[in-house]
């Protein structure tokens, strides 16, 4: 799913304009980035948590030349899914709802043809 797909899905499910859905999705993403930049942890119950992890400086190698390269310390965004999300993703006994615009392919059939 792309960001555009997410915007379309929000628009369809909430029955608001695509432009308003775009503002909502962008605002959520910007809020997550702003919080991570500030060093805050974001926890969404039943979904997971976002935080940053600090990577230490290290010596890497240029794959083309083999030369040593100093890689500076940096913060890396990290997502940890909740138990509920893991269970939902791995639950294969319940049928997953399909959107009307993308019906499930018949057995043995592929989506692209």
pTM higher than the cut 0.85:
no
Position of tokens 């859905």?
Answer: 21
Q: pLDDT-based confidence at 10, cuts 50/70/90?
A: very high
Q: Report domain extents, the chain.
A: 3-84
pLDDT at position 19 over 80: yes
DSSP state, residue 102:
S
- Mean pLDDT within 33-37: 95
Burial of 44 (0-12, 13-18, 19+ CB in 10 A): exposed
Work out the percent of the chain whose per-residue pLDDT is above 90: 80
- Mean pLDDT within 22-30: 96
Q: pLDDT-based confidence at 92, cuts 50/70/90?
A: low
Burial of 85 (0-12, 13-18, 19+ CB in 10 A): middle
The correct CATH number of 3-84 out of 3.20.80.10, 3.30.9.10, 4.10.520.10, 3.60.150.10 is 4.10.520.10
């Amino acid at each position: 799913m792309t960001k555009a797909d997410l915007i379309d899905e929000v628009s369809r499910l909430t029955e608001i304009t695509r432009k308003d859905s775009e503002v909502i999705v962008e605002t959520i993403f910007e809020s997550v980035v702003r919080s991570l930049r500030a060093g805050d942890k974001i926890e969404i119950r039943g979904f997971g948590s976002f935080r940053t992890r600090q990577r230490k400086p290290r010596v890497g190698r240029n794959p083309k030349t083999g030369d040593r390269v100093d890689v500076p310390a940096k913060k890396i965004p990290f997502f940890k899914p909740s138990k509920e999300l893991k269970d939902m993703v791995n639950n294969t006994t319940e049928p997953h709802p399909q959107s009307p615009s993308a019906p499930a392919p018949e057995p043995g059939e592929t989506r692209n043809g």
